Amino acid sequence: MIADVITKVVSGIGSPSTYKNDTYTDPQLQGVYLMENISFLQRIVNLFFTPSRAFDGIAEGVSYKDWLYPMIIVMLGIVILPLFFRDVSFYEADERLARVERSIANNPDMPEETKLQVQENMAEARQKIDDSRDNPFALRNLWGYLLVPVMLFVMCAFFAAILLMVGNFGMGGKIKFFQMFTMVMLTYLISGNGMFMNLTPGVGTLELIVKTPLIIVKESTNMFLSPGLIFDELDTFLKHFINQFDIFKIWGVIVMGFGFAKLYNKPTSTGIIAVSLPWLILVAIGGALMRANSLGMG
């Protein structure tokens, strides 16, 4: 592809069919021009305000910088922002352990030996929580941060692979993995699903920036800006499912739809639908898992 581009540049110098008002008219050359001339900062601004232009040039090719830079920003947000509400997180962890302990104590069908073993495990878990709270910078408590980039990469790659199958096999496209990965990672600057990283508020940078002060005020990480607020006192699958329709997550999915449409040269509505369908399936699975988890903790 690069050789073809260079050939077209050389052979097209001064050619009216190649240039028009100092702009490349050949689609392939135009993509290379856009990737080289759109700054990363401008791409972020477009992502928030003009998503139809945020993904210009990605369909023609990407470099590692195009996905690494947003990944670093998202990773820093995941590591730094939760530190502001770490006391809330520790309190909620204690509460979850207490609910499990009460559930075990009130279960007449559980053998005493099993109860003792589980209680010992709960005591060990509580000690680890206390140690993390009192010694946050001890090496034994920092290893989890090393997993952040790995888990972030895996989560983004997983959804990128799903969208790649939808686009390449379902629509006959020829987009490569890191082009799709770059598009998905850019949308994580707005929002992303943090369920698999045990980050209930989400993993999106903008999402965490907005929700961090709200979490501190509310003293709860159960912060969903969604219709699920009306079910706040209930613990049902419907609540966990609707909670995922958070305003930031919806925003992120719509922007991702713009990116998908740009990659496959499809109408924006087609891109949004193509992204939304697998997202809804994953949201339903996530809601079921969260409901099962809450039942398990009593």
HEC states along 82-106? Answer: HHHHHHHHHHHHHHHHHHHHHHHHC
Q: Of the candidates 75, 85, 76, 78, which has an alpha carbon nearest to the alpha carbon of residue 212?
A: 85
- Residue 236, token pair as written in the block: 């049902």
Question: Domain extents for the chain?
Answer: 26-35+60-83+146-296, 89-134
Q: What percent of the chain has pLDDT over 70?
A: 81
Helical ranges in the chain per DSSP H:
2-11, 27-37, 40-49, 51-54, 64-80, 86-105, 112-134, 143-168, 177-187, 205-218, 237-243, 247-264, 268-296
Q: Of 74-78, 158-162, 208-212, 285-289, which gets the smallest average pLDDT?
A: 285-289
How many angstroms separate the CA atoms of 24 and 60, rounded?
14
23 phi and psi angles, rounded to 5 deg: -125, 140
Would you place residue 194 in the very low, low, confident or very high pLDDT band (cuts 50, 70, 90)?
low
pLDDT given for residue 259 in this prediction: 96
How many angstroms separate the CA atoms of 245 and 267, rounded?
23
Q: Of the candidates 209, 192, 189, which has an alpha carbon nearest to the alpha carbon of residue 82?
A: 209
Does residue 4 carry a pLDDT above 50? no
Q: Is the pTM of this model over 0.75?
A: yes
Q: Of the candidates 171, 174, 208, 173, which has an alpha carbon nearest to the alpha carbon of residue 189?
A: 208
Q: Are 152 and 197 in contact (CB under 8 A)?
A: yes
Q: Are 163 and 272 in contact (CB under 8 A)?
A: no
Does residue 14 carry a pLDDT above 50? no
Name the burial class of residue 249, with classes exposed (0-12), middle (13-18) and buried (19+) by CB atoms within 10 angstroms of its CB: buried
pLDDT given for residue 198 in this prediction: 62
- Residue 185, token pair as written in the block: 């990672």
Over residues 39-58, the mean pLDDT reads: 92
pLDDT given for residue 264 in this prediction: 95
